[in-house]
Amino acid sequence: MSAPLFLVDALPTGDTVTLDGPEGHHAATVQRLRVGEELLLADGRGGTAAAVVTAVGRGTLDLAVTTRGYVDASVPRLVVVQGIAKGDRGELAVQAMTEVGVDEIVPWAASRSVVQWRGDRGVRAREKWAATAREAAKQARRAWLPIVAGTPDESTATVARRIAGAATAFVLHEEAEERLATAALPETGEIVLVVGPEGGIAPPELSAFGEAGARTVRLGPSVLRTSTAGVAALSVLAARLGRW
């Protein structure tokens, strides 16, 4: 079993460090790591450090750093524009997409989104997505923490501008003729993937995204839920790009 990973604001510069705060509590109290066990520290920006537990306190661990490393950012970047979904479907999508390697998630206030993020509710919902991505990145042992971008919910116009600046962009749509499995992919830049909400993507939105340069693609003959479409598409891209 691989060593557990804990996210820190900054990696230690010396050979010893104390892991405290929420991560220290989780390591010492929840996971009950003991002297001699190994763990990984990551700053969420590619930097890593392997360490061994030398002492256990109340909600803290003393560590001896054994090795340091750095993981390059993946190229091209994979950005998913996720239509805001009701209930926990959005969080399920964020969790799974983080585990399979998404680099950035953009919450999108689609016209057919049942739930709208407004005011304080929107701020809390976005923070929940960010917290979900953080925990999923730890579970997946990711050195890079995916970004949950922008304001609580981005507009269609903002998404269209993001598409226009990407190396390529795809909109998942069940009526598309082109398959994601065979669509041309760039070697660098940003691949933007748009996933609609439960009610699908409205025709004016499809037009706006098409005018910005996006292509509609399909995964297969079945229609996937908004909570599974993004992770399925990312899996296809990860395999085609050699990440897997």
Q: Say how far apart CA 43 and CA 140 lie, in whole Å.
A: 14
Residue-level pLDDT, tens digit, the chain, 244 residues? 689 999 999 999 999 999 999 999 999 999 999 999 999 999 999 999 999 999 999 999 999 999 999 999 999 999 999 999 887 888 999 999 999 999 999 999 898 887 777 778 788 888 999 999 999 999 999 999 999 986 766 789 999 999 999 999 999 998 899 999 999 999 999 999 999 998 899 999 999 999 999 999 999 888 889 899 999 999 999 999 999 9
Q: Residue 82 has which token pair?
A: 């996720």
Residue written as token pair 């669509």: 183
Q: Which residues pair with 65 in a beta bridge?
A: 51
Residue type, 221: P
DSSP 29: I
What domains are defined for the chain? 5-70 (2.40.240.20), 77-240 (3.40.1280.10)
Preceding amide of 146 cis, omega within 30 = no
